[in-house]
Structure 1
Amino acid sequence: MSKPSLLSLRRQLLLWLLLPQLVLWAGGGLLTYRTALSYAEKAIDQSLMQSVRALARQVKPIGSGLLIDFPRAAQDVLAQDPGDPVSYLVTSPPGQFLLGNPRLPAPPDAPTRFGEPMLYRATLDRQPLRIVAMDVSYGEDSAPQTLRVQVGKGTAAQQQIARELVADLLVPLLAIGVLLSLLVYGGIRRGLAPLKRLTGQLENRSINALSPIGMTQAPSEVHALVQAVNGLLGEVERSVVQEKRFINDAAHQLRTPLAGLISQVELAQRETHDPVLGARLAKVLTGAERSAHLVHQLLTLARNETQARREPLDLAELARDVAREWTPRAMAAGVDLGYEGVEHLPLEGDALQLREALANLIDNALRYTPRGSSVTLEVTARGSGAELAVEDNGPGLTDEEMAHVFQRFWRASELPGGCGLGLAIVREIARRHGGDAVVERATPHGLRVVLQLG
């Protein structure tokens, strides 16, 4: 039986409980990273604005000219981080190089007011920069001039700080998330344990074990489910009891008149000397015997549709006993009936049901195998179970016929006596013993029916 493609309840609970947690963890990491970048950017911006003001103070107007007081020590301070140095540029008027790195990008728009820094982003050598620009007015009132001071710094440092901050925050959160996931999984497993116990109780039941299910320590939702299942089991039990009662009553009511009819027909055959009447009586006797056989098979089927009573027995000894019981019938039919296999094979099973299965198989073999043939019972060990087989060297069956042999009331031959229930009963008995029945071709010809017993 193939498993359903839908997710189990446990997997759905895990999905809906852990997936939001994962989404929140990832969202929290992204938000933390952006927040850390924002704060690191603010720190860099403040540092750049202090630097641009300090650099602007080092450029002093003298008359209509400029005095640049920018000693080497101040330059070293700006370039104190070789991996991420501070770039600067002084131009006057804006765009005419005076000092610094002439490749530093100009601001997209001119600062709106003198002495007020303007922050913007740019790229230099494919590296992102954070730059602050400030215009300073100098010169005489009659000839005003503008000085532009720019200071830029790469964002690699702030990104590194943000990554470290995110790692420092998310690694402990990840550990907490894993622990929480384990607790969630354990809680779900514990919460679904009553359903698992209920499933186990239902799986181990048969059609004849329909007593109510007891679930004392379980949530109220499971109690409601158990009550519903118990109600269904009660309905099924009543239906099964009524069906078995009807089959038993009908079969018992038919056995007595059929036995009487067979006796009367046999007496009439012995007393009549009319060949025409004798032929008609023979047909009546055949029909009565077939009806009696059908009633017997229906009774057997009704009895076998119960759980097999497992008791210790010797399967090999049981098979030999059944072979001995059927030897007179085999001799009368001109068939050699024998036994092959192990001497002893202990097994737990229902002796009455196994005898009935063997009787049906031998009866079929003797009925449909011509005179001079042979029928063999065989018992072999198979793992922890056993195989019980009946093989004949008769005409056998076609592939199409072999596909239908276990169907109820299906017959491969119109010979009198059969009713099409024998092999169906055999398979039912095999399944009651935890196995199955299969039909195979015998070598070189014939049929082999195997009961695989668990």
Structure 2
Amino acid sequence: MRPIPGVSLQRKLLLWLLLPQLVLWLSGGFLAWRIALQNGEKGIDQTLTQSVRALARQIKPIGDGLLVDFPKAAQDILEQDPADRVTYMVSSPPGRFLLGNAQLPPPPPVNVDVGEPFLYHTRVDDRPVRVALLEVDYGTPQARQRLRVQVAQSLTVRERIAQELLEKMLLPMGLMGLALSAVVYAGVLRGLQPLKRLEAQIEKAGARKRNTADPLPPIELTSAPQEVHSLASTINALLEAVARGQQKEKRFLNDAAHQLRTPLAGLIGQTELALHESREPPVQERLHKVLSAARRSAHLVHQLLQLARSESSVAMQTVDLAALAREVARDWAARAVASGVDLGYEGEEQLAVQGHPLLLREALNNLIDNALHYAGHGATVTVRVDIAGAGMAALAVEDDGPGVNPAHLRDLFARFWRGSDQPGGCGLGLSIVEEIALQHAGQSFADPVVPHGLRVGLKVPLSAAAPRT
């Protein structure tokens, strides 16, 4: 089951960097709004305090009465702006209307110090207002009386000023936020570039590995942060360990095959001599079984040796693939006749490719051997060399035998996989073909033939002098 990829690192970084910035930007805007309102309220409070004291000074006690020296012109000035209307009320005793706007509501139930302004919020005509209240004593000591002066101002202007101030602040704040977001985005992209380069190198190495048997080269980063260098070093250490393991496996396979060849050759020779010398049927039957098993083992050892050699690096040269295919087909002609198979060649007269002649010969030997073994008596086997397009040449062996189930076509190239129970095979021939194809920066293929049969082969790059389609 493939793991489900999570959120990308780039998206996480942008989320954690830009989201807090947006929250701080909104919080800063709200804080600026509150500060603007508070500063506006402070200005209104100062104005109201001065106004209520000035109005109180215009009220002069005369005996037991009051003289209000408040010209109508001053009153008109206070009330001329409907949006920023300033109203007042004079009452004595407190709450008993004498002058001004009788609609001003009374203050909240608190103790008000005489001679000290008291400020509070209320509503007039369903509009919020700020009110300054001042109480003073007048009259004779024998008949003291108290006077209340209230001056109210609408808060509409305060809110309008705060809104204008906030708008003027939000525009530069927004531009700064956008600029900062762009810088953060560019910084995240630049900071992740070493990871992108690392990813590209790994993908490139993986693609090269699919087309060759060479070990993966180490990852090289000339300039990258320390964390990326550490990651690359860890990957290189892993690749080195894998390469060492592959080399050990190849050496063991090669050494084991070499060690087995000599005793198997001796076993086959001694068994053949015993068959010539023995005349007893039971003994000959057993010796034939021993000889057959020894030959199968020798074939397996030969295949293991070829597999080990096909996985090693070799130098490529220009090879006439068509001439090589005809030569190999002629070498197998005698065995094909003995097996009752019609073996022939079709395709290009000449076709130059970049390859290694010994490896290509071994690949074709395995393809022909596989076809002769499984196509059956009376079958027709054809060796073909054609231009496959995209700068590649195809070397294939086609037969009209029983073929393979289409669901198992890719299994043909798996090591030790066999598509038939017929004796004699060891399941490595087509694996060697695939390894040789990878060594040539090509690929192996297997296709069914209509109405029945199988076409198996490999594609290798054309030489620069070869025709291309």
State whether TM-score is above 0.5: yes
SS at match of 1:375: strand
Corresponding position of 2:163: 160
Equivalent residues in 2 for 1:46-445 (5 A)? 46-54=46-54, 64=65, 67=68, 69=70, 71=72, 74-76=75-77, 78-80=79-81, 84-86=83-85, 88-90=87-89, 92=91, 93-94=94-95, 99-100=100-101, 102=103, 107-110=107-110, 112-122=112-122, 129-137=128-136, 140=139, 141-142=143-144, 144-154=146-156, 155-174=158-177, 176-178=179-181, 180-181=183-184, 184-185=187-188, 188-189=191-192, 199=202, 208-209=214-215, 235-269=241-275, 274-307=280-313, 309-313=315-319, 319=325, 322-338=328-344, 347-378=353-384, 379-383=386-390, 385=392, 388-398=395-405, 402=409, 404-434=411-441, 436-445=443-452
Calculate the TM-score normalised by the size of structure 2.
0.74
Flag the structure with more relative contact order, 1 or 2, with Cα contacts below 8 A and sequence separation at least 6.
Answer: 2
- Using a 3 Å threshold, how does the CA distance of structure 1 residues 45 and 135 change in structure 2: closer, same or farther? closer
CA contact (8 A) 2:84 2:153 kept: no
**Alpha-carbon distance between aligned partners in 1 of 2:355 and 2:122, rounded to the nearest angstrom:** 88
**Alpha-carbon distance between aligned partners in 1 of 2:134 and 2:194, rounded to the nearest angstrom:** 70
**Alpha-carbon distance between aligned partners in 1 of 2:98 and 2:344, rounded to the nearest angstrom:** 117
SS at match of 2:130: strand
Percent identical among aligned pairs is 45
SS at match of 2:412: coil
- Using a 3 Å threshold, how does the CA distance of structure 1 residues 101 and 220 change in structure 2: closer, same or farther? same
Structure 1 residues not aligned, in runs of 5+: none
Q: Which amino acid aligns with 1:412?
A: G
**Alpha-carbon distance between aligned partners in 2 of 1:27 and 1:182, rounded to the nearest angstrom:** 22
**Alpha-carbon distance between aligned partners in 2 of 1:313 and 1:56, rounded to the nearest angstrom:** 116
- Encode CA deviations 1:272-324: one digit per residue, 9 max, x unaligned: 55544443333222212211110111011111223565545565665555445
Q: Which amino acid aligns with 1:250?
A: A
Pairwise CA distance, 1:152: 2.4
Q: Which amino acid aligns with 1:35?
A: I
Pairwise CA distance, 1:112: 1.8
- Encode CA deviations 1:169-201: one digit per residue, 9 max, x unaligned: 414532552464266336625776885697579
**Alpha-carbon distance between aligned partners in 2 of 1:59 and 1:320, rounded to the nearest angstrom:** 129
SS at match of 1:306: coil
Calculate the TM-score normalised by the size of structure 1.
0.76
Pairwise CA distance, 1:131: 1.0
What is the aligned-residue RMSD (CA, Å)? Answer: 4.5
- Whether 1:5 and 2:5 are equivalent positions in the alignment is yes
**Alpha-carbon distance between aligned partners in 2 of 1:270 and 1:245, rounded to the nearest angstrom:** 38
Number of residue equivalences = 450
Corresponding position of 1:447: 454
Structure 2 residues not aligned, in runs of 5+: 462-469
